[in-house]
C-alpha cells in the first residue's frame, strides 16, 4: 500500500511535518497535489461526500481505507506504524503532547504574518503583523525553544533526543521548526539559539540522519518561499 499525502502544492507548510516522517520511515507515498492536476485532486478529496470522516484542512493522509487529518494525529498514526514513537502508552502520549505544543507554535508563526485573517493578504495586515511579530520574536521564540531545551535536558533515555532513547517524529518536527524559524527570523534566532544549545544540536542530529539528508538534498524538498508558513519578511525580524 502506498500512502497518499494531500497538501497544498508548492509550499512546505504543515505538510512538511508529515513528509519528514514518511521520509525517515522510508515509507512509500505519493505527494498527490504535487503531481498532474494536483490541486484539483486535493479539492476533490476535501469535497468528497463518500468520505464518512472528512478532514477539515490539509495535510490529509490516506492510508488504505483510513482518511486522516490534523498533522499531530497523522504523526501519531505514522509514529506507531513505523517505529517513530515509543511503544508504551505513556511514551506515545508524551510524544503526542510535544507534537501538539509544536502545533501551537506553528499556529503562532502563522499569526505573525496573518494576525487578522488568513483570507487577507499580508500587505493588508502589515501593521498588525509587525505588532504580533514583535511579541513573538521577543517572548514566544525564547519561551518555546526554552521549553524544548528543558525537555531535552530532562530526558533520561538518551542525550540528544526529546523522548526516550530513539528518534521520534517530534524530533523531526522540532528540526523543521528550527529550520523554518532560522529562515523567517534569522536575527531573533541567532539570539535565541545561544540559550538553547540542545535544541541546536538536535537540529543537527536530525539533519544528518541518512534518510533525512538524502531527502533534503532531493527535489522532493521544496525551497522556502513567502507563500509558506515560515516567511522571511525582514521587517518582522526585529
Ligand X SMILES: N[C@@H](CCC(=O)N[C@@H](CS)C(=O)NCC(=O)O)C(=O)O
Where does this chain bind ligand X (CB under 6 A)? 13-14, 57-59, 70-71, 103
Residues 211 and 219: their CA atoms lie apart, in Å, by 14
Instruction: Indicate the residue among 108 and 193 with the shorter CB distance to ligand X.
Output: 108
For the chain, the distance separating the N- and C-terminal CA atoms, rounded to the nearest angstrom, is: 47
Minimum CB distance to ligand X, residue 106 (Å): 7
Minimum CB distance to ligand X, residue 94 (Å): 19
Minimum CB distance to ligand X, residue 72 (Å): 6
Residues 52 and 150: their CA atoms lie apart, in Å, by 41
H-assigned helices in 57-168: 71-81, 89-113, 126-135, 141-154
Which residue, among 203, 107, 192, has the nearest Cα to 161 in the 3D structure?
A: 203
Minimum CB distance to ligand X, residue 137 (Å): 21
Residues 90 and 140: their CA atoms lie apart, in Å, by 28
Minimum CB distance to ligand X, residue 20 (Å): 14
Enumerate helices (H) and strands (E) in the chain, giving the number of each: 10, 4
Instruction: Indicate the residue among 69 and 205 with the shorter CB distance to ligand X.
Output: 69
Instruction: Indicate the residue among 76 and 192 with the shorter CB distance to ligand X.
Output: 76
Minimum CB distance to ligand X, residue 58 (Å): 5
**Strand ranges across the sheet with 66-69:** 29-31, 3-6, 60-63, 66-69
Instruction: Indicate the residue among 101 and 196 with the shorter CB distance to ligand X.
Output: 101
Instruction: Indicate the residue among 71 and 96 with the shorter CB distance to ligand X.
Output: 71
> For the CA atoms of 219, 224, 228, 230, what is the dihedral angle to 10 degrees?
140
Instruction: Indicate the residue among 172 and 192 with the shorter CB distance to ligand X.
Output: 172
Burial zone of 97 (CB within 10 Å; 0-12 exposed, 13-18 middle, 19+ buried): middle
Amino acid at each position: 500500500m502506498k500512502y497518499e499525502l494531500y497538501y497544498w502544492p508548492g509550499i512546505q507548510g504543515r505538510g512538511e511535518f508529515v513528509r519528514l516522517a514518511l521520509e525517515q520511515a522510508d515509507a512509500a507515498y505519493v505527494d498527490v497535489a504535487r503531481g498532474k492536476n494536483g490541486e484539483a485532486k486535493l479539492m476533490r478529496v476535501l469535497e468528497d461526500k463518500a468520505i464518512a470522516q472528512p478532514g477539515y484542512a490539509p495535510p490529509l493522509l490516506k492510508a488504505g481505507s483510513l482518511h486522516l487529518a490534523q498533522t499531530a494525529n497523522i504523526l501519531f498514526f505514522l509514529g506507531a506504524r513505523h517505529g517513530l514513537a515509543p511503544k508504551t502508552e505513556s511514551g506515545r502520549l508524551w510524544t503526542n503532547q510535544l507534537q501538539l505544543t509544536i502545533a501551537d507554535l506553528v499556529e503562532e508563526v502563522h499569526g505573525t504574518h496573518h494576525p487578522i485573517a488568513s483570507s487577507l493578504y499580508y500587505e493588508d495586515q502589515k501593521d498588525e503583523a509587525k505588532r504580533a511579530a514583535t511579541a513573538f520574536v521577543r517572548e514566544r521564540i525564547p519561551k518555546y525553544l526554552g521549553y524544548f531545551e528543558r525537555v531535552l535536558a530532562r530526558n533520561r533515555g538518551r542525550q540528544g533526543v526529546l523522548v526516550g532513547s530513539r528518534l521520534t517524529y517530534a524530533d523531526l518536527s522540532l528540526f523543521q521548526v528550527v529550520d523554518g524559524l532560522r529562515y523567517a527570523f534569522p536575527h531573533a534566532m541567532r539570539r535565541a539559539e545561544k540559550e538553547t544549545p540542545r535544541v541546536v544540536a538536535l537540529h543537527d542530529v536530525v539533519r544528518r540522519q541518512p534518510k533525512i539528508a538524502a531527502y533534503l538534498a532531493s527535489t522532493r524538498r521544496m525551497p522556502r518561499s513567502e507563500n509558506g508558513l515560515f516567511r522571511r519578511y525582514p521587517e518582522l525580524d526585529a
